[in-house]
Amino acid sequence: MAMDDVREPLISALGDPSPQTNQKKPMKSRTYRRCKSAPLAEYVPLKTTDTGSVPVTESILQNSRPNFQKVALFLAVYLGIGTICFYLVRNQIKGEKTNGVLDAVYFCIVTMTTVGYGDLVPNSILSKLLACAFVFTGMALVALILSKAVDYLVAKQEIFLDKALHMHQKVGCIEVLKDVETNSLRYKCFVAFILLSVIIIAGTIFLATVEKLDLVDAFYCVCSTITTLGYGDKSFSTRAGRVFAIFWILTCTICLAQFLLYVAELNAQNRQRALVKWVLSRRMTNVDLEVADLDGDGVVGAAEFIIYKLKEMGKISQEDIRLVMEEFDDLDVDKSGTLSTSDIMLAQPPQTEKSYG
């Protein structure tokens, strides 16, 4: 009986189209204006934490932050086990040696980053098998853990970079966040390029002053290292050089990989934006109208038009629409074609009462 009482006013309202058409138009425009995918254009929602209220964007960044203690632990375990193994087989590794422990750590880093200078080379079956095992585990560690940490650190610099670019302008927090969201990949490329340039300059100066290479050979060694070519004719041969190389090689190879990844993502984003611009500037035809008419009633509503354009832009697929409609059907308990608070309440699973006693 209660469900019939709810449906009666809905049926009566649908049966009288004249007043409905006059009231729907402003409601539709207001509704779709509120359904923007970028709510930051209007406000920055806050999230309450133990330390106070912070913008939701900062909260999301904090939630996506990798656990640096775990990253350090994995790296320490890898280097620790690798150092012990390669130290025990140090007599089965030939090449230019300085110190047993230092050479073992250095060999781990060179193997992990696939630089492979050739200044230290496995010379037995056991040492070769160890090198094969550590090169694969090291590459996985770099790809899965260390690169995420670098990506997070670069992403954190985006807001500082944007604030620096607009230092002399009166720009608020909302405008900064909007600009970062729009040009995120561009800023990441810029930050990674600056960091990469500093690393290249530092490596060149170090090789020229400590390893006593001339400037061209130092730059040549830096380029062959950072791109993991590792020709081997120029490398770190002194004790101080290998201490520096342990930290520098790991940093420069990961930084270059992230920079190339950002460039590829930026190129894909530019192509996607060009496609969106073309879709929005293209005029609709009768064929497009028929395709966009999802319910087959001969007219295309605003929701149907939006869905059609998003599909044409490649932002959603038919499978995405199907999954969303399945969720809608599950929430639409009274099968009225609309969602209300009563539908949401009825769709929630019943809570089991706890028995005390």
Give the start-to-end residue ranges of the domains of the chain: 68-281, 283-336
Q: How far apart are the C-alpha atoms of 213 and 233, rounded to whole Å?
A: 12
**What are the pLDDT digits (tens) for 269-279?**
788 778 778 87
Prediction pTM value: 0.60
**What are the pLDDT digits (tens) for 82-102?**
999 999 999 999 998 999 999
Displacement of CA 27 from its chain's centroid (Å): 37
**Residue 141: HSE in the Cβ half-sphere, 13 Å Cα cutoff:** 23
CB 110 within 8 A of CB 136: no
DSSP state letters, 112-124: HTT---SSEEE-S
SS3 101: helix
Q: Which of 9-13, 69-73, 105-109 has the lowest mean pLDDT?
A: 9-13
Residue with more model confidence, 124 or 5: 124
Structure-token pair, residue 11: 């049926």
* Closest C-alpha to 78, from 125, 151, 130: 130
Q: Over the Cα atoms of the chain, what is R_g?
A: 30
Q: What is the CATH number of domain 68-281?
A: 1.10.287.70
Give percent above pLDDT 70 in the chain: 68
